[in-house]
Structure 1
Amino acid sequence: ASWLFPSHRLAEQTQSNALALGRAHLRLGHAHKAEHFLSAVNLAAPQFQDAPAQFTLVNTLSECRLSQGRLHLALATCEPLLALAAKQSWQPYLFDFFGNLCHIYYEWNQLPIVRQYLTRCLAEAEHNETAPFWSVDAHLALMWLAWAEGNQTAADAAMQEAERLAHMLGVARLVRKVMAHGARLDLRRERYESAIGWAKDCGLDAHNVTDYGAQFEYLTWARVMLAQKQPARALRLLTQLQALALATGRTKDVIEIMVFSALAHQANNEPQEAFAALAQAVCEAEQEGYVRTFVDEGAPLYALLQQVAASGITRLYVQRLLDAFPQSAAKPIKSPTAPLAQAEPVNSLVDPLSERELEVLRLVAAGHANREIAQSLQIATSTVKKHVGNILSKLGVKNRTRAAAKARDFRLL
């Protein structure tokens, strides 16, 4: 019965189905599965030649790559349509297009570009009847932009507008999302009572964190736990969230979770675990140039990053991160544990470890396999094996577990 369904029709249907399945998996937070289906979509297929179809496909692809932490590829996905987006009459799909660009440039700390895109979108939203749904996200983005720029009054105004729009639309999940953003802003500004009040009413279940749509809420809840001086409880929640993000290929979320886990470990009097978590996050984030994920955590993370900088791990990148913090973050803060930077010098060994061997050692101690270390440091697996052999020899041990233990004895970690 092939005459009923010509081959080109079947091909078009297959392409459309792949896009639909990719979008569905993306909404569930399954980035790996979404990528599997989206990779089957041919950008040159006939049904993707008109503007609405092109933007729908590009928006989905860029969102998937953002979730995977591939910021440069996400931007490259959007760039072919930038000229078209600039000259055509406004359409609803442009909200998502520019929204993805705002996420990318905010992470890179290129705030003027974020403001340029947000200003255009919000101006268009006033004349678009479908805009209120997108306007909620736009005002939340504007809130964080204003906060990053140090304009607290504008941040409060944007938050109030997002809350007004969410309540006007009457969508419960949207309201919960906005309130979680408000609670996180309260934490950033040390308005702890308000954030704790949100946590009491949020209705989240620490034993069931599989709802991807509520992940921002769960991460905010973990931050409230830390503000309540419950770091062990926060770490249990973060462990679940990180395992889920790893299993579904959401590297962007993994990096955020590792960064915050470092703060939770530090608060839990676990400086070695704090260092390992932050060092791993830095290694994961360097290639894509993450900035705001680190800077937005403020002074406590600045102090931990200084320790990573002292160790020599990805030194230039860590210095760029430190330079991106506001001057207020550089003020000394009290820490419940002695800073790792006060450890004994590494040359206490008869045959000191090289800077690269120290990088490998810290990743070994964090539980990474050779292939993962090679990817993080952008070197060959055979080179990693050679470094590990040198490390074992210099430390006088026969396996990786003993190497990690001996390194801690020498305060190399």
Structure 2
Amino acid sequence: MLLTTKFLRPTSDARAVKRDRLSDLLEPHGPKRLNLVIAPAGFGKTTLVAQWCARVTSPTAWLSLDEHDDEPRRFWQYVIGAFEQAGLNGAAELRKQLAHQSDESFTEAITGLINILAQDGSAWGLVLDDFHFVGNPAIHRQFAYFIDYLPPGILVTLASRTEPPLPLARWRVRRWIEDIHPGLLAFSEGECRQFFRETMGLQISDEDVHTVYHKTEGWVAAMQLSALSSTFSGKEAAKSGSQINLDERYISDYVLSEVLEQQPRDIADFLLETACCPRLCASLCDSIRESSDSQEMLERLLGQNLFLIPLDTRNEWFRYHDLFRDALLLRISHTEPEKATRLWQRTVEWLLAHGHVQEAIAQIVRQTDWPWLARVLAEHGNNLIHGGYHLPVLGWLDALPQSLVNDNPQLQMLRIWGLFFANRVDTLEPLLSALEDLLDRQVADSHPDAEGALGLQSEISLMRSYLARTRSDDKSAADLTRQVLREIDHTRIPLKSVTYYGLGLDCYGKGELTEAEDALQSAVRYGQVEHKPSTVLSSGGLLAWIQYNRGDIDLALETSTDIRQWVDKHYADPSQPRLISCWQNSTLCEIHRERNHSELAAMHLKPLLEHVERGTEPGQHVIIQYVRGHLAFSEGKLQEAIEALEDASQTGRKRREQIVFEPPASTALLARCYLATGHPEKARACLDARADGEFTNPLHLEQSRISEARVLVALNQPERAQEILSALLKPAERNAHNRHLVEILLVYGEALAQQKRNDESQQMLTRALNLAAEAGFMRLFAEESPDLRALLLELPALNGPGSWNTNLRKMLVDQSQSRQVNSDTRETPTSRSAHKPAPQPTALPEPLSQRELEVLALIHEGHANKEIASKMKVAPATVKAHIRNLYGKLGVGRRTEALARARDLGLFEA
């Protein structure tokens, strides 16, 4: 006799979360024969399949399997019985025949069932719930035969905790299978919210939903247990919106009873023994278990879906679901506390030995073993800080008892480095003095670590050299750096990379570019040896910046690419954001902008803008805004460029003492923006406002002087421009400042053309073209004045063969045509109002920018400043600045006057 309750499909709760996205996947389509719903206990497999069955119209047989069904005859009796219960004609007679068959393969009965389904002709479905209870190989062979010969339109759905040993690969190739794995079954955050509020009736906040969702990773059983624990602890309190607590007792009991106690002894032992591992690999598990079978065990766990989550595609690294791991840790710490401690210590030792220092520290902190943490930080903290982990290191130092830090010079120096990288330099001087006093006392007391004290003295000197740079005390900075270089070979502390980076900054600031490149190459080399990815990235980025600005684009790109590849290879921590260097990303943005690849340039600029928004140190702020302004200038977004460059210029002046290098010449580029908007007087004023002796770096000085020459040409003073350019020409040639040399030749050619010295002008422009073609420059031609671009298009050399000439000519022609179209559009009759003439550019002494026109239109629509800021997605202060400029150009003082003036000019009709 069969137990008929096994044929009853669970009733779908009307309040349950409707998972239409998954139910759609279960629907029959094409050649599909099998739905495979595989996930650990408590992921909602049965609920999902029951919901789907409730909505289908075709006949469906349901069978809930248990541990007693792992016997072929009984299994097939129940499968046929399920069809009989669902109303399949002929199933009852077939089941009776099966009871008397002596053939243990049951081929006759299975074939009979297939034939009955074919004769019936309906699109039958069969659901086998808890298929993981079936482990008999004979049943698996028979079931594979059943699937292989199913008639068209029959769909079988298996819900199982483990993937069954069936010929799934062959079936997948034939597109017979729909896989629904744990990642799909896990609730989304929206489904989690719906579950708590509608299914469980708990009015919890979105913040609580977010917390529970991330803690449970969409595991619905854990969510349900947490909801029930809150309900049982007080329904009224829960419904009033109190926080949901993930009660570990409920979840642990569930894991232990539904998962752990159902496993064979060897699997259960492995789970408990490896629960202390934040991540698992075979080598780590073998080490802590003192065994050699861990890879096999991990693969068994993976096949059984025991809450093991792969972390790569090679089945090398895994982790347990956090709540599952917590339950395992709770069990072993209660039942075998000494063994749990021993396993944890072995895990930390393995992580430290294999370079996973951050994970090891996290485990030490979790166990509050402060002496061990102090020893690990003293040994590894320096590399962590120079690898980009200065903020975590400061947090770990703060967690230590003060007594462990006060008498430990290494930890005190570590705090100083951490604060320096966090840009909290104003706090360092008293800490350095206190550390020097401690070292003096230790020397006086004949402390055994004299060599360590010498190393720390070198670190103190190195730190003081960086502080001297922030005070623009270049001589002290250089002296201290060279002192460190003399002493550093006698210490055990790996600081050569940081020292050479400081030396590179010094040389760059003084304009000694060759020496800067040599020092930065050494910084990169030592940084790779010392395994300091952050220092490698910063040093390589500044090196590439210098190479680019000297005009070696290909070399700069090669340097940037090589450095990025090394850093990505040696810095692979998925829990931390990708290391970004302001120097390197700025260089890459400039390279791609220059090569007329604006989308690539914007891609490298984007992460830097996030630094500006969050607040970064002033030197980086200036560089980022300079590069941002240059990209906007190249794209013709002149107002955006002016705003960025004005900010860069002001920040560079106001916070000069806090910048350890000479910032780029923002005023030079800003002057070019004013020239492009038709305001040479503004450009001249911008350059005249520079401080005396502002530039010591020859690249910046050249850039500024070239802008002066451009302004003079725009003001019809070509002779004075020629004087400036003549003085720049030879040094730029001698120092191979190729990018600036091209610009000097171009502006020189324009100045000569103004003087009607056309042959000389063509010679200069041809030299510029030949040099630019060799270096690969492109965009800088499009940034020059319209008159100069017209001269270039008439140049015979530009019409020569070669892809570079073709691309440059096309870019200049397209730019010229675009400008002409815009001009014609303003002047054609179709653009004029039927009643008023179109506004002419000369109607205002200074035309409105595109952004100012947008603001004017929004004012006309009646929007307040905050609403305008929201619509334009800018800060209210930016809107105020636009309105101030708008009023000035219109010659008005308030909104009503601005609107009246705009109507008189026909701006709204335009």
Q: Normalized against structure 2, the TM-score is what?
A: 0.32
- Cα offset, 1:68, TM superposition: 3.2
- Cα offset, 1:299, TM superposition: 2.3
After superposition, the Cα gap between the structure-2 partners of 1:45 and 1:95, relative to the gap in structure 1 and judged at 3 Å, is closer
Distance 1:27 1:210 in 2: 6
Q: Residue 254 of structure 1: SS of its match in structure 2?
A: helix
- Deviation string, structure 1 residues 285-312 (Cα, Å, up to 9, x no partner): 1133211121110422322222334675
Alignment root-mean-square deviation, CA: 3.8
1:133 aligned residue (610, 614, 619): 619
After superposition, the Cα gap between the structure-2 partners of 1:179 and 1:78, relative to the gap in structure 1 and judged at 3 Å, is closer
- Deviation string, structure 1 residues 333-367 (Cα, Å, up to 9, x no partner): xxxxxxxxxxxxxxxxxxxxxxxxxxxxxxxxxxx
- Cα offset, 1:326, TM superposition: 6.3
2:763 aligned residue (276, 300, 315): 276
Report 1:60-209 matches (<5 A): 60-82=542-564, 84=568, 89=577, 94-130=581-617, 132-163=618-649, 165-166=651-652, 169=655, 177-202=665-690
1:260 aligned residue (723, 747, 751): 747
Specify which structure has the higher proportion of helix.
1
After superposition, the Cα gap between the structure-2 partners of 1:328 and 1:236, relative to the gap in structure 1 and judged at 3 Å, is same
Show the counterpart of 2:724: 237
After superposition, the Cα gap between the structure-2 partners of 1:248 and 1:9, relative to the gap in structure 1 and judged at 3 Å, is farther
Unaligned runs of 5+ in 2: 1-453, 455-486, 821-910
1:30–1:249 Cα contact (<8 Å) kept = no
The range that moved more, 227-236 or 74-83, is 74-83
Amino acid at match of 1:274: S
1:245–1:254 Cα contact (<8 Å) kept = yes
- Cα offset, 1:79, TM superposition: 0.9
1:26 aligns with 2:512: no
Q: Residue 682 of structure 2: SS of its match in structure 1?
A: helix
2:545–2:583 Cα contact (<8 Å) kept = no
Amino acid at match of 1:79: T
1:318 aligns with 2:819: no
Distance 1:164 1:42 in 2: 32
Larger RCO (CA within 8 A; separation ≥ 6)? 1
After superposition, the Cα gap between the structure-2 partners of 1:40 and 1:58, relative to the gap in structure 1 and judged at 3 Å, is closer
1:55–1:97 Cα contact (<8 Å) kept = yes
Distance 1:213 1:287 in 2: 23
The range that moved more, 147-156 or 307-316, is 307-316
Distance 1:295 1:53 in 2: 36
- Deviation string, structure 1 residues 198-217 (Cα, Å, up to 9, x no partner): 34444679xx9985543322
1:43 aligned residue (502, 525, 528): 525
Bigger Cα Rg: 2
After superposition, the Cα gap between the structure-2 partners of 1:41 and 1:289, relative to the gap in structure 1 and judged at 3 Å, is same
1:251 aligned residue (738, 762, 765): 738
Show the counterpart of 2:861: none
Distance 2:714 2:646 in 1: 24
Distance 1:95 1:295 in 2: 26
- Cα offset, 1:98, TM superposition: 0.4
- Cα offset, 1:56, TM superposition: 3.0
After superposition, the Cα gap between the structure-2 partners of 1:203 and 1:226, relative to the gap in structure 1 and judged at 3 Å, is farther
1:309–1:315 Cα contact (<8 Å) kept = no
How many pairs does the alignment contain?
325
After superposition, the Cα gap between the structure-2 partners of 1:177 and 1:70, relative to the gap in structure 1 and judged at 3 Å, is closer
1:218 aligns with 2:705: yes
Distance 1:82 1:175 in 2: 24
Show the counterpart of 1:383: none
Distance 2:614 2:728 in 1: 39
- Cα offset, 1:18, TM superposition: 6.3
Distance 1:51 1:236 in 2: 47
- Cα offset, 1:178, TM superposition: 3.5
The range that moved more, 102-111 or 244-253, is 244-253
Unaligned runs of 5+ in 1: 333-413
Identity of aligned residues (%): 21
1:28–1:212 Cα contact (<8 Å) kept = no
- Cα offset, 1:187, TM superposition: 0.7
1:262–1:274 Cα contact (<8 Å) kept = yes
